[in-house]
Amino acid sequence: MSLRAVGRGCFRGQALRIRHFAEERDMSESFDVVIIGGGPGGYNAAIRAGQLGLKVACVEGRETLGGTCLNVGCMPSKALLHASELYEAAASGELNSLGVEVQPKLNLEQMMKQKDASVSALTKGIEFLFRKNKAQWIKGWGRLDGPGKVLVTHADGTETTLQARDIVLASGSEPMPLPGVTIDNKRILDSTGALALAEVPKHLVVIGAGVIGLELGSVWRRLGSEVTVVEYLDRICPGLDDETAGALKRTLGKQGINFKLGSKVVSAQASSAGVELALEPAAGGATETLAADYVLVAIGRRPYTEGLGLETVGITTDKRGMLGNQQHRSEVPGIWVIGDVTSGPMLAHKAEDEAIACIERIAGHAAEVNYAVIPSVIYTKPEVASVGSSEQALKEQGRAYKVGKFPFTANSRAKINHEAEGFVKVLADEKTDQILGVHIIGPSAGELIGEYCVAMEFAASAEDIALICHPHPTRSEALRQAAMSVHGWAMQG
């Protein structure tokens, strides 16, 4: 279902309230900045613009602010990952082994309810931040209407024209469709459907061994599903450091996720009871069938530019439908682009960084996003976190580098907590010792990577980290030991 169709599904009462609001509004108000899209790109841009004293409006067509991330992405997925991890710790006997005897019973309805309540609190939090920073939310779908103009269509069909000196496009992304596998969000799901199932699938087939597939595959496996992940390539998580991806695949395999690598789904037949998939080897060959009661299609996301009115100002997209940018400027003066709708990793914190830099530039300040230091995290158990170059990327660049590795089995805190799977791997320039990339698979990897982001922003060497006092006993000591290992003197492993 398109974002607009979701937005149109509002209640009559809400539509009336919106109409009332529209009638009261100055029908062609002028702003310094109008932002289209209220996700992490758009809402952070609106807040920063408000802080800088710019008169700002953010046009968002959903019923709530927060975009994909808060409504159907980062936040609901993390809510289910957290709850399902606790459920599994109880159901697998892990808690019993610690002397905490429990007999858990899954209440899926409550698990979904607490997720929805958290999401609702977070989206309302953005509304509060808008009020606090004098950013105006214009509820409706916006489209460019020639230079300096945004036409907003409200849920009741009325329209408002906004004038703006600068316009920021932050319309985000949507799931990539797979030909032959039609998403109905009944049996064949996108991530939004897989975050809201009313029952635990007996057999969930996930198409795509990327971030969404592995996170949501983990959720449903923990809650009792058999999970099969079908991946076109002969590896999982393309782009992730090879060794780290290999370790993640092994550990997820041990947890019970089945992988069918080098395979493509060529068709899917959905019925009220389930789905029958036809699979072929990626390189071609004999077809096999696979039956599932639910299928999750997670083969990537694509920029969302539907109905943005790009043609009214002469902006074009590339072959993938993506908007180009030069330091957040589109090809048309006064129109800017940030977040998933433009190049770079499709991550909420990348959208946020671009939002800040873009608004600072609009306000006439200097600002830069350092694309070399954008961390990424996969919230499986154990977590995987990376920043900077992978080992294979350094090899391709012909860069001479050193590797320091430290296993969590040798980290006292991880060991005492019985979560000693994984390692920290630091890649540093052979001559200068500058840190070039860090890959962590292990407990709280997503929190740990922040230290190396700071280090890399300050162009630190591995030796800098090796010589910094870290608290004991913490997992962060593994970060220091890995840096020591770059120079061959890890003391505890």
- Alpha-carbon span 480 to 247, nearest angstrom: 21
203 catalytic per annotation: no
CA–CA separation, 377 vs 354, rounded Å?
A: 19
Torsion angle, alpha carbons of 304, 310, 316, 322, to 10: -10
CB atoms within 10 A of CB 348: 21
Contact flags string 362-381 toward ligand NAI, x per CB under 6 A: --------------xxxx--
Quick one: 42 or 442, whose CB is closer to ligand FAD?
42
Tokens of 88: 């599994």
Which residue among 211, 219, 428, 490 contacts ligand NAI (CB under 6 A)?
211
First to last CA, the chain: 52
Minimum CB separation of residue 192 from ligand NAI in Å reads 12
Binding residues for NAD(+): 208-215, 231, 300
- Taking CB under 6 A as the criterion, the residue among 160, 173, 218, 228 binding ligand FAD is 173
* Residues 87 and 104: beta-carbon distance below 8 Å: yes
Burial 366-398 (b: 16+ CB within 10 A, else e): ebebeeebbbbbbbbbbbbbbbbbbbeebeeee
**Two tokens at 423?**
């390692």
The option from ligand NAI, ligand FAD, none interacting with 238 (CB < 5 to 8 A, set by class) reads ligand NAI
For ligand NAI, give the closer residue by CB, 220 or 379: 379
Per DSSP (E only), the strands in 96-154 are 135-139, 141-144, 149-153
Residue 179, preceding bond cis, omega within 30 degrees? no
The pairing of beta strand 423-429 with beta strand 401-407 = antiparallel
Show Cβ contacts of residue 311 under 8 Å, excluding neighbours closer than 6 positions: none
- Judged by beta carbon distances under 5 to 8 A according to partner kind, the member of ligand NAI, ligand FAD, none in contact with residue 39 is ligand FAD
Segment interacting with ligand FAD, rule: CB under 6 A, options 57-65, 246-254, 455-463, 473-481: 57-65
Residue whose CB is less far from ligand NAI, 104 or 180:
180
The answer to whether 419 touches 407, Cβ cutoff 8 Å, is: no
CA dihedral 293, 111, 441, 90 (to 10 degrees): -100
278 touches ligand NAI (CB under 6 A):
no
CB of 342 within 8 A of CB of 358?
no
State the binding partner of 61 from ligand NAI, ligand FAD, none, CB within 5 to 8 A by kind: ligand FAD
Nearest alpha-carbon partner for 342 in 304, 388, 387:
304
* 92-131 residues near ligand FAD, rule: CB under 6 A: none
Residues 212-241 that bind ligand NAI (CB under 6 A): 212-213, 215, 230-233, 238
Q: Of 41 and 407, which CB lies nearer to ligand FAD in the complex structure?
A: 41
404 binds, among ligand NAI, ligand FAD, none (CB under 5 to 8 A by kind): none
Q: For the segment 195-214, give every residue that binds ligand FAD (CB under 6 A).
A: 212
Binding mask 291-310 for ligand FAD (x = CB under 6 A): -------------x--xx--
The tokens describing 483, both together, are: 């840096």
213 binds, among ligand NAI, ligand FAD, none (CB under 5 to 8 A by kind): ligand NAI
**Site map (CB under 6 A) of ligand NAI, residues 108-127, x = contact:** --------------------
Cα separation of 393 and 439, whole Å? 13
- Report the binding-site residues for FAD: 78, 142, 340, 346-349
User: Is there a contact between 442 and 457 (Cβ–Cβ < 8 Å)?
Assistant: no
Q: Which residues bind ligand FAD (CB under 6 A)?
A: 3, 36-42, 59-62, 67-69, 73-74, 77, 141-143, 170-173, 191, 212, 304, 307-308, 339-340, 346-349, 351
Give the residue numbers marked as catalytic: 472
Question: Interface residues with ligand NAI (CB under 6 A)?
Answer: 178, 207-213, 215, 230-233, 238, 264-265, 298-301, 345-347, 376-379
